[in-house]
């Protein structure tokens, strides 16, 4: 068999919406027999925690559609224009938006971030936590899933140096 | 339609990208070389994705059928 292709990803965002792309691409590539590594840094680092608690922030995110995951189809397709004054000032709005997004994703058959990460583990995707960010934010290796490794810029760059695809998410 | 001796049927109905390719990969891993896997998906994206998956993995996509009503049926032969 020909030499395996390689995908090198940096996951730098920790919100629910931005947690998806790295895990979708990683599991997709691993499913195609590619060798995959994800480097989790800055706000992406908590995605390595045993329990992922990512939420979505509608604040300052005007492109985000707000949809209702229940009711007739026409109702579900409405994009609710929620002004920033509400998304930023009503306590609990972020939690509401997060649960609405999770419900909508579930209704549409989208896997949860946790499920996608489990797939990545099963498909032997290499997951590297950024040592520097761990020090800054006070994370310990024990906070993360067992499969997580720890490394720095050089670790990622060495893997990325001969990768076919490198993406920063 | 050709007749295949299907070793296993994998139902990915209701699942979105990337689950059809991920589950196909996991199912193929457990089969023997020469076995045929039938995979059913309701994700229209599975049509181009399974074609790409087969090109990348060098397994043989024997047939990809759009059966209408958002049902897609694939027959994949494990080649290695």
With an 8 Å Cβ cutoff, are B24 and A34 in contact?
Answer: no
| C-alpha separations of A82 from A14, A69, A76, A140 in Å | 23, 16, 15, 38
CB pair distance less than 8 Å for B53 and A1: no
Q: What is the pLDDT of residue A1?
A: 52
Is B28 part of the contact surface with chain A (CB cutoff 8 Å)? no
- Please tell me the pTM assigned to this model: 0.91
Question: Contacts of residue A30 in chain B, CB cutoff 8 Å?
Answer: 22, 25
Q: Quick check: A136 contacting B, CB < 8 Å?
A: no
Is the Cβ–Cβ distance between A116 and A22 less than 8 Å? Answer: no
A-chain residues near B41 (CB < 8 A) = none
- Tell me how far apart the alpha carbons of residues A9 and B17 are, in angstroms, rounded to a whole number: 18
Segments forming the whole domain that contains residue A153: 6-53+113-168
CA distance A40 to A152: 10
Q: Which residues of B are catalytic?
A: 17
Query: Could B18 and A1 be called an inter-chain contact, meaning their C-beta atoms sit closer than 8 Å?
Result: no
Enumerate the domain spans of chain B: 6-77
A74 domain residue, yes or no:
no
Please give the class, per CATH, of domain B6-77. Answer: alpha beta
pLDDT of residue B68: 95
Spatial separation of the C-alpha atoms in residues A96 and B55, rounded to whole Å: 42
Average pLDDT per run of 10 along chain A, which is 169 residues long?
A: 88 95 98 98 96 84 79 86 76 87 91 96 97 95 96 96 97
Tell me the per-residue pLDDT of A55-86, one tens digit each, with 9 for 90 and over: 888 777 777 777 888 888 888 888 887 777 77
The reported pLDDT for the residue numbered A8 is: 98
Looking at the domain assignment, is residue A117 inside a domain?
Answer: yes
Q: What domain count does chain A have?
A: 1
If phi > 0 it is left, if psi is from -120 to 50 it is alpha, else beta; for residue B55 that is: alpha
A64 part of a folded domain: no
* Per-residue pLDDT, B65: 96
Residue for token pair 């760059």? A157
Is A163 within a domain?
yes
List pLDDT tens digits, range B38-77. 999 999 999 999 999 999 999 999 999 999 999 999 999 9
**Is residue A125, in this structure, part of any structural domain at all?**
yes
Residue A108: list chain B partners with CB under 8 A: 16
Q: Specify the pLDDT at position B1.
A: 55
| pLDDT for the residue A66 | 78
The mean pLDDT of chain B is 95
Closest approach of A107 to chain B, Cα-based (Å): 9
Structure tokens at A159: 């893997």
- Residue range B19-36: average pLDDT? 97
Read off the CATH number of the domain in which A34 is found.
3.40.1260.10
């Amino acid at each position: 068999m020909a030499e395996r292709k390689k995908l090198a990803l940096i996951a730098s965002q920790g919100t629910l919406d931005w947690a998806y792309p790295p895990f979708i691409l990683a599991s997709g590539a691993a499913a195609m027999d590619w060798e995959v590594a994800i480097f989790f840094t800055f706000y992406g680092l908590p995605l390595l925690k045993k329990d992922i608690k990512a939420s979505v922030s509608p604040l300052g995110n005007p492109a985000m559609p707000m949809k209702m995951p229940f009711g007739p189809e026409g109702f579900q397709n409405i994009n609710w224009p929620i002004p920033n004054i509400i998304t930023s000032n009503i306590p609990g709005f972020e939690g509401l938006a997060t649960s609405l997004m999770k419900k909508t994703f579930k209704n549409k058959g989208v896997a949860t971030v946790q499920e996608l990460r489990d797939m990545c583990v099963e498909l032997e995707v290499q997951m590297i936590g950024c040592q520097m960010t761990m020090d800054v934010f006070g994370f310990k290796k024990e906070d993360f899933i067992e499969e997580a490794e720890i490394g720095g810029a050089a670790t990622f760059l060495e893997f990325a140096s001969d990768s076919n695809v490198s993406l920063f998410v | 339609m050709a007749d295949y001796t299907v070793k296993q049927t994998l139902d990915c109905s209701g699942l979105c990208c990337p689950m059809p390719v991920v589950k196909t990969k996991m199912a193929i891993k457990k089969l023997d070389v020469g076995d045929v896997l039938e995979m059913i998906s309701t994700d229209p994206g599975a049509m181009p994705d399974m074609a790409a998956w087969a090109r990348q993995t060098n397994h043989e996509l024997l047939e990809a059928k759009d059966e209408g009503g958002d049902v897609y049926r694939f027959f994949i032969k494990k080649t290695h």
